[in-house]
Amino acid sequence: MTRKKTNKQLQFLSVMIKNSLQKIFLKLAFVFLLFIMLAGSCNKDPSVSGVTLTSDSLALTLNTDETATLCATVFPKNATCKIVKWSSSDTNVVVVNRGRVMAKQEGSALITVTTAICGYQAVCTVVVTTPHPAEPVLIKVEGGTFAMGCSDGDCYKDGSELPVHAVTVNSFKIAQYPITQKQWATIMGNSYCYFHGDNLPVDYVSWNAAMEFIQKLNKITGKSYRLPTEAEWEFAARGGNKSKGYKYSGSNSIDRVAWYKENSKKTTHPIGTKKSNELGIFDMSGNVWECCSDWYGVYSDKPQINPVGTSQGKERVARGGSCFSGAIDPRVSSRVKCAPNVPYLGMGLRLVLPN
C-alpha cells in the first residue's frame, strides 16, 4: 500500500511539473512572437517613424548640480507604442532618469533617447561647467497666467497697483536669493553697501550700477542674465503656478517671510534666514528692495502677455520692500519708482536667466 501510494504521488507531481513547464513554454513563446512582431514593425507597421527632443539646438549647458528636463516626442502622434529608453554616455558627468537631467561634474556627455520599437534615436549634448562664484542659484518658474496688482484691499493710496489685470508670462529661471555682497565684489571689486557682510544682500546700489554688474557677469560667463520684468518678479513672488494667494511672498504672516522695520532692527540680514515662498525662493518680501527692468508706468486694464512696461520713462521699478519698510511695502503687489542713476539705501537686485 505504501509503495502504491508513493507511486501515485510521484505521478501526480510529474503531471503538475509537466503542466507548469507547458505554461512557462507558452508564455515564452508568446513573448518571443511579440518580440518578432515588434521587431518587424519597422518594415510592416509605420506606427513609429522617429523621435525628437525638445531642444532645436540639441545642446544644453548646465552648472554642476543643476537640473534640466528633456521631453521626447515619438512620431507620429498616434503611434501605438511611445515607450522610450534614456541613457547617458558618461554618468560621472550627467545622469538622466525619464528625461530629467542632473549635472554632476565638469565635462560633456551625450544624452540619448531610444524608441522601444525600431530603435530610433535622438541625441542631446550636455556640457557641464563650474559656475562662476558670482552666479546665483536658480529656480525654474513655469510660465502661467495670474492676476497682477493689488486685490487684498491693503493697497497704496496712490492707486499705483491698480487696476488688477490678467498677465501671462513665459517660463524663466530666477535667482533663489538676492545678490550678496560677496557676489557683487567678485565682479565689481567693491560692495557699495551700508551694512557689511559677505552673505548680506547688497543694499546701496542704483539701477544703473545693477546693469553694469549684469553686463560684466554676462561677459565673464557668456550667459544672458538680466533683471526680471515687473510681471516676472510679481509672478515669482506670488509663488507662480503653485501660488496659495498669500499677501506676502510665502505667507500671510509678514514675520515668517520678511525682514522689515518691526523685526529687522533696521539692518539687513543674511539671505535665506526667513521662510521661502511656494517655489523655494527667499527674501522676495523685505530685506532689500529689488530692481526690475521696467520703466515705471501706469497699469493697463487689458490682459497682457510678457509685458515689459512702457517704452520710455524717467524712473525704473523696484519691488519687495526692505528692512526699513513698514508692513505695506513687502506685499507681493507693492511697487515703487527709483531714478536709475541714484543709489538708494536698502536697494538690491535679483537676477533672471531666460529659458
Q: Do 339 and 195 belong to one domain?
A: yes
Q: C-alpha grid cell for residue 75?
A: 512620431
Q: Do 121 and 145 belong to one domain?
A: no
How sure is the predictor about 25, in pLDDT bands with cuts at 50, 70 and 90? low
**Residue span of the structural domain in which 74 resides:** 50-129
Q: Can you spell out the DSSP letters for 261-310?
A: TTTSTTS---TT-S---TTS---SSSSSEEEEEEEP-PPPSS-EES---B
CA gap 283, 274 in Å, rounded: 7
Span 224-270, pLDDT tens digits: 999 999 999 999 999 999 999 999 999 999 999 999 999 999 999 99
Span 264-303, pLDDT tens digits: 999 999 999 999 999 999 999 999 999 999 999 999 999 9
Distances in Å between the alpha carbon of 202 and those of 32, 93, 122, 182?
66, 34, 45, 9
Entry pTM: 0.76
Indicate which CATH number applies to the domain containing 163: 3.90.1580.10
Q: Do 310 and 334 belong to one domain?
A: yes
Span 334-345, pLDDT tens digits: 999 999 999 999
Q: Do 340 and 208 belong to one domain?
A: yes
pLDDT averaged over the chain?
89
Q: Do 166 and 312 belong to one domain?
A: yes
Residue 61, amino acid: T
Stretch among 22-26, 28-32, 209-213, 222-226 having the lowest mean pLDDT: 28-32
- pLDDT for 45: 45
Q: Do 168 and 217 belong to one domain?
A: yes
Q: Do 169 and 236 belong to one domain?
A: yes
Residue 178 forms part of a structural domain: yes
Report the number of distinct structural domains present in the chain.
Answer: 2
Cis peptide before 163 (omega within 30 of 0): yes
**Position 21 pLDDT exceeds 80:** no
Residue 268 forms part of a structural domain: yes
- pLDDT for 62: 87
Stretch among 130-134, 191-195, 244-248 having the lowest mean pLDDT: 191-195
Q: Quick check: 353 and 138 in contact, CB under 8 A?
A: yes
Residue 24 forms part of a structural domain: no
- pLDDT for 43: 45
Q: Do 117 and 157 belong to one domain?
A: no
**Position 1 pLDDT exceeds 70:** no
**Position 181 pLDDT exceeds 60:** yes
Q: Do 272 and 155 belong to one domain?
A: yes
Span 305-335, pLDDT tens digits: 999 999 999 999 999 999 999 999 999 999 9
| Largest separation between any pair of C-alpha atoms in the chain | 111
